[in-house]
Structure 1
Amino acid sequence: MTAKANMSLEAMGQQCEKVAQVMKVLSHPKRLLILCHLAQGEQSVSQLEGLTGLSQSQVSQFLKAMSLQGLIQARSDGSYKYFSVVDKELEQLLEALHQVYC
């Protein structure tokens, strides 16, 4: 195999790792629900509580996990934090899932 082919395989492996991490996040129905709401626009923790029926601690735990994966970002406004999807590929994936399943 040539060096170019090896690099391609390495890049493919890295992409597979990234996709697997995203799919792991999406594999929990409530995390997926939170991401669907965030894909529609910025939301606070309390807004997400109302939209999902989850407790504040559950929402915060899920947001922290998604933030550590680099999928969402937080913006502070006074004592409130607002979250939004930062990964454009994730937005496209959520839109595709919405078109197929909703």
Structure 2
Amino acid sequence: MPRTVIDVDRLKEAAGEAVAALKLMANEDRLLLLCQLSQGEMCVGDLEAQLGIRQPTLSQQLGVLRNEGVLGTRREGKNIFYSVADPSLVKILAVLYRIYCPKE
């Protein structure tokens, strides 16, 4: 089987992006939020009920994800709906789900 030739220069460029994405997901609450939001947009109240993350922590972690530009928001009346805006994160989350949450 032939070996794949790795473009080391491209790897060096991409390493920073990959590390940044992995750092975002290296927090359990942020990972749970991203996993839930990868399934579709949700408002804060629904996220709190689904994940059991208390309001102060939830707001803090949503703020981190929003500041990093990986979440999109949409306002409807008094509710703000969040969604994953970075398609590459959705792909990473799908791989993590297949590895760590296999069907029995």
Q: Distance in 1 between matches of 2:14 and 2:94?
A: 20
Which residues in structure 2 correspond to 1:18-97 (within 5 Å)? 18-97=17-96
Task: Report deviation, 1:10.
Answer: 6.1
Deviations 1:13-64 (A, max 9, x none): 3421111111111111111011110001101011111111111121111111
Q: Distance in 2 between matches of 1:95 and 1:9?
A: 26
CA RMSD in angstroms comes to 1.5
Structure having the higher helix fraction is 1
Structure 2 alignment gaps of length 5 or more: 1-6
| Equivalences, count | 95
Q: Distance in 2 between matches of 1:48 and 1:19?
A: 26
Q: TM-score, normalised by structure 1?
A: 0.84
Q: TM-score, normalised by structure 2?
A: 0.83
Closer/same/farther in 2, CA of residues 11 and 69 from structure 1, 3 Å limit: farther
Task: Tell me which stretches of 4 or more aligned residues in structure 1 moved more than 4 Å.
Answer: 8-11
Q: Distance in 1 between matches of 2:99 and 2:54?
A: 29
Structure 1 alignment gaps of length 5 or more: 1-7
Closer/same/farther in 2, CA of residues 10 and 67 from structure 1, 3 Å limit: farther
Q: Aligned letter for 2:88?
A: E
Q: Distance in 2 between matches of 1:81 and 1:72?
A: 12
Identity of aligned residues (%): 31
Task: Report deviation, 1:9.
Answer: 6.1
